[in-house]
């Protein structure tokens, strides 16, 4: 009998067939707000779906009927308008703590009862989400396959003979099968992306330190990220918005830059995406995967992207560092003592990777660190020529039998396009883009430097929609974007960028001229080192003048986005001696922005030494 058998499935007067429920966050949220669904009805439907899935090895720990009913009743006393994730069901990888519940990390002998919620869990609960249970994983989050667990192997959502991907196997399958709307996993070397690709869902690997990892059983603490599995990029953004809270108690947490944005804006009309040279692309003999990647590249070009082939070898060198370098030793620092003391309780492959790996000397650790720093410098220059990098999420997919025959070698193949991400401090989103000839999902990963989640989610969302694939393992298509009557409608429509350096900066007297026109702050950056800034005399409100100069320096600025119509209205108000011209940024790109006619700065104080207008007006001498 289902866990919640006998409970009402729908609100009185709004009966609907259970199969009509779409579990993306946007659809459920609308149903709650319109009174078509209650949390009690929702958890009843969740249970029906879980019961129908049978013994699928997805769950390690599920909440009881009483607990789910109590949570539903608690929410029904509140307004769905005030809680961003009101009534949304979710799951957690069982290496993340929930107060009063057991955390196993995929190893029963290791299990402990958590004293408090991990901060990411507490944030989700405070936002109104409903925790359904904790999911299966490769033991100690070690693997990309999903087969290294004493709790069984969650079958791939499309063919149970194939692997689900790991290590966040249960979380990905739970979302793909529509058992929950989203799930949290972790990602050290690809565990939050490979399972997404193998189950036709979105996998967001946020920037390191953006989501707190306190209350998470560590794999490599310096690299670990809490990841998000969702049906759509918009859903992933909503979860990110709730969980991206700086945790002062997490020593690896990082505050976001001032211009950081979560929600994706419209994909730019033109963008440059890098991809490995043809000779450097690896599919391990899977011609179908190669064709699927080529099709995804063509779709990106159709969305306005320009493909730029890049030398992928530095990325591959960094990927080799992950397991040839000292980071396996970091896994040993996390759970090595337990594994050594409980060898019979450990999956043999996991024990082989962590406990049996040769130890590194301090000298080897430093040498690996120096090599990584050099690669970061080399690869850092690449981002001047591209906006993002596109690769297959995984080169191919294997059957469970194949993995059992070669558990380490084939796992390494799956990390070809994933292992370098966290070492290079990149953000990444894996999105579904099609299917292989044998009916299994295929997807690509978009990545860029840390804190570029909004850009990646925007392009990923457009690519996902253009690919025409269903939501997870269902036959439902992507829901329509929010209507233009929504408060966030200013995010839709093609936009043009404009750089501001003075009174139009955030918090400055003329900034309202941008916000009144629906302007969106895209980023804070600096000019190239060929400009000087002057304080214009007798201007009201006070304004600076930016001019190009052979002996210049970088000047701080903000880049704002306006619709084409709003841009025209804004520019029409610009008066001499200021003008709109082309400004070169420090990354080598160009953008339209405020410049000043040369005659106006003669005799005007040169304030370039302050580095920007904000620093100048805030100085004691001003």
Q: Rounded to whole angstroms, how far apart are CA atoms 214 and 196?
A: 24
- Identify whether the C-beta of residue 133 lies closer than 8 Å to the C-beta of residue 59: yes
Q: Which residues contact 620 (CB under 8 A, 6 or more apart)?
A: none
Token pair of 72 as six digits = 């539903």
Annotated catalytic residue within 149, 168, 171, 191: 191
- Helix locations, 19-98, DSSP H: 25-33, 39-53, 65-76
**DSSP 8-state class, residue 450:** T
Look up 602 and say whether it is catalytic: no
Report in angstroms the alpha-carbon separations of 571 from 386, 499, 590, 597, 613.
28, 12, 18, 16, 21
Pairing of strands 305-310, 271-276: parallel
Annotated catalytic residue within 157, 167, 171, 462: 167
Q: Where are the beta strands (DSSP E) in 501-606?
A: 520-526, 531-535, 544-548, 556-563, 578-584, 590-596
- Identify whether the C-beta of residue 454 lies closer than 8 Å to the C-beta of residue 261: yes
Residues facing residue 524 across a β-bridge: 558
Token pair of 518 as six digits = 């629906």
Phi first, then psi, for residue 273 (nearest 5°) are -125, 135
Q: Which residues contact 270 (CB under 8 A, 6 or more apart)?
A: 304, 305, 306
Residue whose structure tokens are 């694939």: 469
Of 524, 533, 523, residue with least CA distance to 611: 533
Annotated catalytic residue within 27, 93, 168, 467: 93
Element (H, E) at 448: strand 441-449
Look up 168 and say whether it is catalytic: no
Q: Which residues contact 170 (CB under 8 A, 6 or more apart)?
A: 57, 58, 59, 60, 91, 93, 94, 135, 136, 137, 154, 164
Pairing of strands 590-596, 495-500: parallel
- Neighbour-count burial of 512, counting CB atoms closer than 10 A to its CB (0-12 exposed, 13-18 middle, 19+ buried): exposed
- Neighbour-count burial of 37, counting CB atoms closer than 10 A to its CB (0-12 exposed, 13-18 middle, 19+ buried): buried
Element (H, E) at 50: helix 39-53
Q: Helix, strand, or coil here: 454?
A: helix
Look up 157 and say whether it is catalytic: no
DSSP codes joined into one string, 312-327: -HHHHHHHHHHHHSTH
Token pair of 264 as six digits = 């994706």
Element (H, E) at 228: strand 225-230
| Secondary-structure breakdown of the chain: helix, strand, coil percentages, each rounded to the nearest 5 | 35, 20, 45
Query: Hey, which residues are catalytic here?
Result: 93, 167, 191
């Amino acid at each position: 009998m289902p866990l919640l058998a006998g409970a009402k499935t729908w609100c009185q007067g709004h009966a609907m067939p259970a199969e009509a429920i779409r579990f993306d966050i946007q659809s459920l949220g609308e149903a709650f707000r319109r009174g078509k669904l209650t949390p009690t009805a929702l958890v009843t439907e969740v249970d029906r779906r879980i019961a129908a899935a049978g013994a699928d090895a997805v769950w390690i720990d599920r909440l009881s009927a009483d607990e789910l009913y109590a949570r539903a009743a608690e929410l029904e006393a509140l307004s769905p308008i005030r809680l961003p994730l009101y009534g949304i069901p979710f799951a957690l990888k069982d290496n993340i703590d929930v107060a009063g519940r057991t955390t196993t990390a995929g190893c029963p002998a290791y299990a402990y009862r958590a004293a408090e919620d991990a901060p990411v869990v507490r944030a989700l609960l405070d936002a109104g989400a409903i925790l359904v249970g904790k999911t299966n994983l490769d033991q100690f989050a070690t693997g990309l396959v999903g087969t290294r667990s004493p709790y069984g192997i969650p079958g791939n959502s499309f063919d149970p003979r194939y692997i689900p991907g790991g290590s966040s196997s249960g979380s990905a399958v739970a979302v793909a099968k529509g058992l929950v709307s989203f799930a949290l996993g972790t990602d050290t070397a690809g565990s939050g992306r490979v399972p997404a690709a193998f189950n036709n869902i979105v996998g967001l690997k946020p920037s390191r330190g953006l989501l707190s990892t306190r209350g998470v059983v560590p794999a490599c603490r310096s690299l670990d990220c809490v990841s998000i599995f969702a049906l759509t990029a918009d859903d992933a953004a909503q979860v990110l918005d709730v969980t991206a809270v700086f945790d002062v108690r997490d020593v690896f947490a990082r505050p976001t830059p001032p211009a950081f944005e979560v929600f994706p804006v419209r994909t730019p009309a033109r963008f440059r995406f890098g991809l490995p040279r043809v000779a450097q692309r690896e599919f391990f003999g899977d011609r179908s995967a190669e064709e699927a990647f080529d099709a995804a590249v063509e779709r990106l070009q159709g969305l306005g992207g320009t493909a730029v082939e890049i030398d992928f070898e530095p990325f591959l060198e960094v990927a080799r560092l992950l397991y040839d370098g000292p980071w396996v030793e970091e896994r040993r620092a996390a759970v090595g003592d337990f594994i050594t003391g409980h060898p019979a309780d450990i999956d043999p492959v996991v024990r082989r990777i962590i406990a049996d790996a040769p130890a590194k000397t301090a000298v080897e650790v430093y040498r690996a660190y120096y090599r990584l720093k050099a690669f970061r410098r080399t690869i850092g220059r690449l981002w001047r020529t591209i906006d993002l990098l596109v690769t297959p999420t995984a080169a191919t997919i294997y059957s469970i039998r194949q993995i059992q025959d070669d558990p380490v070698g084939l796992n390494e193949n799956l990390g070809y396009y994933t292992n370098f991400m966290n070492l290079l401090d990149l953000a990444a989103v894996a999105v579904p883009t099609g299917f292989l000839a044998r009916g299994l999902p295929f997807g690509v990963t978009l990545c860029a430097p840390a804190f570029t989640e909004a850009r990646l989610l925007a392009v990923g969302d457009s690519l996902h929609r253009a690919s025409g694939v269903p939501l997870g393992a269902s036959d439902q298509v992507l829901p329509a974007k929010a209507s233009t009557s929504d408060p966030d409608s200013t995010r839709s429509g093609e936009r043009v960028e404009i750089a501001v350096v003075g009174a139009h900066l955030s918090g400055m007297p003329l900034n309202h001229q941008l916000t009144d026109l629906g302007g969106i702050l895209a980023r804070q950056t600096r000019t190239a080192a060929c400009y000087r800034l002057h304080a214009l005399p007798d201007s009201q409100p006070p304004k600076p003048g930016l001019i190009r100069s052979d002996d210049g320096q970088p000047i701080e600025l903000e880049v704002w986005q306006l619709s084409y119509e709003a841009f025209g209205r804004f520019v029409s108000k610009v008066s001499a001696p200021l003008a709109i011209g082309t400004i070169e940024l420090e990354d080598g790109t160009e953008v339209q922005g405020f410049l000043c006619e040369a005659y106006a700065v003669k005799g005007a104080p040169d304030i370039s030494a302050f580095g920007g207008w904000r620093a100048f007006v805030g100085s004691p001498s001003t």
